[in-house]
Chains A and B, each alone.
Chain A
Amino acid sequence: MEQLLEILGDLHPEVDFATAKDLVTGGILDSFDIVSLISEINEEFDVTIGAAELTPENFASAETIYALIKAKLDDED
């Protein structure tokens, strides 16, 4: 989680990601940010996020993003 918040903070230093809940619908993360984000996550966590998973719901908050990563790390089933 710490690592994730750091990555997010690099993208938008002005946003408090620990509390924000509408990152996509609120217009904080645009498509560019999301793409940079998944490549950072790929780098940091060695987790591949597919295009199908790039939904507003999955990227609504730091928590949902983390949940996505965790699910990937814990493996599929």
Chain B
Amino acid sequence: MLFTSYGFIGFLIIVFAIYYLLPGRFQWQFLLLASYVFYFIADPRYLIFIAITSATTFLAAKKISDKKKSFDVWFKEHKKEYEKEERKSLKAKEHAAEKKIFLACLLFNLGILAVTKYTNFTIANINSLLSTFGRADGISFVQLIIPMGISFYTFQSMGYLIDVFNGKHEAQDNLFKFALFVSFFPQLVQGPISRYSDLSATLYEEHRFDWRTVSFGLERILWGFFKKLVIADRILVAVKAIIEDTNTYNGFYAFAGAMFYALELYADFTGGIDITIGVAETMGIKVTENFIRPYFSKNIKEYWNRWHITMGTWFTDYIFYPISASQFMMKLSKKSRAKLGNNLGKRVPVYLSSFIVWFTTGIWHGASWNFIVWGLGNFVVIMISQELEPFYRWFHSKVHVAGTFGWRLFQVVRTTLIMSSLRMFDCYRDVPLTFKMFGSIFSKSSLSQLKIDAFIEMGLTECDYLVVFIGMLVLVAVSLVQRTGSVRGKIATLKAPVRFVIWYGLFMVTLIFGAYGIGYSASQFIYNQF
């Protein structure tokens, strides 16, 4: 069920109504039911996958948590009986026992993810490898279903498992409560990847109908729909046209396509997250923010702290840190320092961990080389900016531009341009084509290539571009206001008629200017002779 479907809106209305009609203690149980219904509507077979992940993770975490507790109790009573060394080995033994359960569960669930998502990608690569050795007969592809949101709920469950294993918090005692944490329906389609400690704070509570909470939630949903329907789905027409016809649209148009895509992705992704967070908020549940005005970032590292935040922190906490703090890396660090000198040597482990993280980030986004190259592209850019830091320090000591508006603007534009260039891997069919198109921006762009008609031929009218442009200005304005606090909070302090005009206006604008329905395509309503 797409967020922007009548079905989803109908589903929401029913869920909201029942949720607030039910006695509070049944609310979370109802949410679990609603989430499974949501999944069932998408495809009944998906239920098996999410149920298995929920059950195995629940059991493993519970076992680990129980073992920890009983060991701690036992250890407290008996520790005086043992010497220091013995105590250490007892602890190590316990840790190893827990680790077995932990690893079994972790590998099992990541295994499901790997098999469903990456089997055919692996087969394709093996086949192309075989064919370079002259073997034409490849392995045939297998028909696998990829459960909706599997990357998100698997990561969310594994984050929970790791946290329990590390003793950050205790395991959830109730299987159904845990199942709700994994399957909470607003998050299923596109995240964010919540942490158990964050989401569980409000997920199971009783929530009485509170006008302010509900209206704030609905406002957030409406804002999400505005972004998705009015801006993203409209400019998507041009994006598609550009990436599908690379013979016509190269050079400057490839650049325009990258810019349009930056806008489309931002409006679509953040709009979707707005709907997710808004839906949860309407029910009194707090979901972690996933974006903080990412296009205002001054460098790539900052960008990744502000774009798809829950994914970034997941990779940092559960992949980057464990790898870079591992024994192996510590040893590698010592070795490389001895061989390469302190300055260069200490970077080796950091960069190696970083490389692994970006490789996995890439492949997590999708089973294709495009995403892998995209991930590694990010790695390269971050390494370069890391290495350039001394140069920037030197530059700023000579030229005093740091902190000025012009310099900040330059940084923001530079970051956006770099990220948009990398994202071209998202768009084009394969890696070589992406490079070709990126190259064409520099080799083929010229003023004579630029024709207004070409933009119209992409399927959008002047009016559409105007709507997109105005929509973009609204986005920028809202982001600017947001820097000093919640925009909805600020609007809430205005006089009632003004508030009414703003929200009703946004509703009507979305309703009328949204690019949805069969009427959208102008060619639909053409009459012939009858």
Contact = CB atoms under 8 A, between A and B. Distances in A.
B325 A54 contact: yes
B166 interface: yes
B337 to A, nearest CB: 8
A50 B327 CA distance: 9
B167 A52 contact: yes
A59 to B, nearest CB: 11
A3 B329 CA distance: 22
Question: Which residue of B166, B322, B324, B346 has the most chain A CB atoms within 10 A of its CB atom?
Answer: B324
B5 interface: no
Interface residues of A, number: 21
Nearest to A40: B346
A48 interface: yes
Interface stretch (B36-44, B48-56, B83-91, B201-209): B83-91
Given A42-B330, A43-B334, A76-B88, A36 B346 contact: yes
A2 to B, nearest CB: 19
Interface in B20-75: none
Nearest to A42: B330
Contact of A39 (B88, B91, B320, B330): B330
Contacts of A43: 333-334, 337
A35 B88 contact: no
Contacts of B444: none
Most buried by A among B91, B320, B321: B321
Contacts of A34: 321
Nearest to B87: A77
B325 A51 contact: yes
Interface string A40-77: 10110000111110100000000000000000000111
Contact of B333 (A32, A39, A51, A77): A39
Given A36-B346, A36-B350, A76 B91 contact: yes
A31 interface: yes
A38 B84 CA distance: 25
Interface string B297-322: 00001100100000000001100111
A39 B329 CA distance: 9
Contact of A42 (B91, B168, B333): B333
Contact of B325 (A30, A38, A40): A38
Interface class of chain B by DSSP: helix
Interface residues of B, number: 31
A77 B78 CA distance: 13
A30 B349 CA distance: 16
A30 B312 CA distance: 12
A77 B79 CA distance: 9
Contact of A48 (B317, B330, B386): B330
Given A49-B325, A54-B325, A77-B79, A35 B353 contact: yes
Given A38-B325, A39-B330, A77-B87, A52 B166 contact: yes
Contacts of B330: 39, 42, 48
Nearest to B357: A31
Contacts of B320: 31, 35
Contacts of B349: 35, 39
B285 to A, nearest CB: 24
Nearest to B353: A35
B358 to A, nearest CB: 12
A35 B168 contact: no
Given A32-B354, A39-B324, 13 more contacts: A30-B301, A35-B321, A36-B346, A40-B346, A48-B330, A51-B325, A52-B166, A52-B167, A52-B168, A54-B325, A76-B87, A76-B88, A77-B87
Interface of A: 27, 30-32, 34-36, 38-40, 42-43, 48-52, 54, 75-77
Q: Which 8 A-B pairs have the closest CB atoms?
A: A52-B166, A51-B322, A51-B321, A35-B324, A51-B325, A39-B333, A54-B321, A31-B316
12 contacts: A27-B302, A32-B386, A35-B324, A35-B349, A38-B325, A39-B329, A39-B349, A43-B333, A43-B334, A54-B317, A54-B321, A54-B325
